[in-house]
Structures are given as C-alpha cells and as structure tokens.
Amino acid sequence: MTPLVAATKSGAPAARSLTARHVAWAPSGALDVCEWAEVGRRIGSVGRNIQWLMGDWIAYGNQKFGERYARASKISGYDPQTLMNMVYVATRFAVSRRRENLSWSHHEALAALDPEEQDRWLDQVALHRWSVADLRTMLRVSRRELAERSDGVEAGAEQSPPMLKCPRCGEEIAVD
C-alpha cells in the first residue's frame, strides 16, 4: 500500500492520509469535498502523465547508471517494448516543448518528425482540438498529398503547399 496525502487549498498536506493499493483507493477517514477533489486531480494527473514520467525515469537511469530496459521492466512491471516507446517519445520532446494541453499520444504520433515539424503539427492540434485519431488521419493524408505532389513535380517548379481539410471544422489548412 502507498499512502497518499491530501493537500489543503494552500498546498500544505492535510492531516489525513489515504491508502492506494494496486487496484483500489480508500480514504482512512472522512474527506470533505475539497480534499476528495484534490485527490482526484492528483490521481488524474498521474494517470494522464505516466508515460512521460516513466520515459524520463528510464532515460535518467540509462544515462546515469547504464541501466537498460530489462531491469526497468522488472522494477516497473511494464513490458520492455512499452518502456522503449516511452523513452523514445520522452527523448524526442524536451520538457519545454511538451504541450500540457495535449495528450502523450498526440506527441507519440509526431515523435518521428523533426522538431520544427512536430511543433507545427502540435500547434494545429491545439488550435483545432484534434483527437489523436484526427491527428493520425491528417498525418496520413498529408503524407499521401506530399508523395503525390512530389511524383508529378518538375524539377524547380514552384508549388503552393498542399491544403488539407480539418476533420472537425472543414477549414483548409496548409501543410508544409
């Protein structure tokens, strides 16, 4: 069991502790609605960000101790391939470039791109509020459009960037 401590509005720990097990959570006493809400925010934050936390943790261990995925897998209980993916995405996005308003999965879909292209796509995702599925669709369409254009282009011919339709609003979006 891992004790979790609720925080007051000022951020100071509340006197009550909470118990979290692998498959359960229970307060050790009665909570008021503010304490209950704060615990929910903390649990939700960890759940939404666990891939970043694990990726950064393993990257640190790899750099500092030369540890590899087999040991991290034994420690964490995650499959080595899953851990490799977490590290790959975490190392492709510096903390300063991670968008808190977008999911880890949005970043994962863009990890193979160069940083400037990642940022352009992240801007579009945030602007249009695309789901991960929307982003993946837009990436596929963009790749197909760019491939078709490069097949039929004469050397040195000037072309405008391809335009894609936003799956949410139908707006035409230029893709570089």
51-83: per-residue pLDDT in tens? 999 999 999 999 999 878 999 999 999 999 999
pLDDT tens figures, 121-150: 999 999 999 999 999 999 998 888 877 777
Enumerate long-range contacts of 61-66, CB under 8 Å, 24 or more apart: 62/87
Chain centroid to Cα 176, Å, comes to 23
Q: pTM for the full model?
A: 0.75
Those residues with Cβ within 8 angstroms of residue 70's Cβ, 6 or more apart along the chain or in another chain: 80
Kindly tell me if the per-residue pLDDT of 167 is higher than 90. Answer: no
